Structure formats: structure tokens, C-alpha cells
Structure 1
């Protein structure tokens, strides 16, 4: 049996937070590829009205902690709010838009 270490994270920004220029979008890594696991996890924050392209070269599951987002992809549109889950397939085309100030928890496979 290995000595697994259970760690706790939250969605608050910290010294590892990455910001995207003057936009109100940030990502805070929690679990990264360098740690040797099969997945990555991070929190993301979007200020109301911010938009970002959706494609990523890995699969992700997003959970909205607070706020509300709209996803446009492949001719469809969905909105999700607190407690909602979203599966984002690898290389999905589309756009995410924050309808309110929003915090997400995201898990990616494989790790990056």
C-alpha cells in the first residue's frame, strides 16, 4: 500500500494563478502533470462577459462552483449554473461565455 497524500484545494487565486493579460480570466493549478498522475485539476475564474475559445487537446469535466456560463459548440448552446457539470470532449470547437462572475473546477485527462 502506498502512502497517498490527500490534499485540499479551493477556487481562490494564489501565487500559482495564471492571468490572461488584462482580461478577467484566470486559472489556478491544483494537480499538475509534473506530479505524475493521470489527470490535471485546476480552478478557473471568468469575469462577467468574458469569452474564451473552447478547444483543448484533452478531455475535461467542468463543475460550476458559482456563477453561470454559456457554452456554444457545434451549433448548440447550453447554460449551466452552480453545481452543473459539463463534459468538454478533446478538441471540441466552440466558445465559453461568463453570464455572471463565475468560478469553475476543471479536471483534465490526460494530465497536462
Structure 2
């Protein structure tokens, strides 16, 4: 048997498996914890969006305070819907989350414009 180990203490590192917009609860992301523990009340940056975790639901839909290693969990409290495959990064403060989110948005927009520019050059 393989002896697999991962850190369960400290900030979580997750990735989004599925994202959707719920009429009553707003943007939701189903994330799987790769390392650490995800806790309600933490500020997170998801892709180029951010939010404060207001609720975590387990696979049965029951509210829980924490999401542990390899646990799929639905995260509530995001400011906008993320994209499947986005990473979830826990940050220390709301200001840090906003700053990191803005930087990622600028980088995404710059890359998108670069791709459009390269596409126009290829057609000429």
C-alpha cells in the first residue's frame, strides 16, 4: 500500500470542480480540498473573483464549519461565479483578497487582449 500524506493544518488549497449561480444563495462553487482545512469566515480568492466564506455544505447538503482534506464542499459567499478548474486561495484579509483579485483580473484581461491581437495578425 502507498503511504500517502498531506498537510491538514493551516490554510487550505482547493480547486473548483463545479460552479453555478443559485437563485437564493448566489454564486456557489463546489471545491475539493487538496491541502489544509477550509473554514467558514475565511477570505478566499477564486480565479479572478473573491469572497468571504459564509457557509460550507458537505455532499449531503448539510452545513458544516470546516472542509477537510479530499472533502468536496459547496462554498457560499463568493462575489461572482468562478470557473471550473480555478484554484481557491485563502488570504488573511478582505483587503488582500480584493487586491489579489484585481491583479488577476488585470492579468486575465491583458492575456485576452494579447490573444486577440495575435489572432488578428495571423489573419493578415
- Given the two structures, how large is their TM-score scaled by the length of structure 2? 0.30
Q: 1 or 2, which has the higher helix percentage?
A: 2
Q: 1 or 2, which has the higher strand percentage?
A: 1
Larger radius of gyration: 2
- Given the two structures, how large is their TM-score scaled by the length of structure 1? 0.32
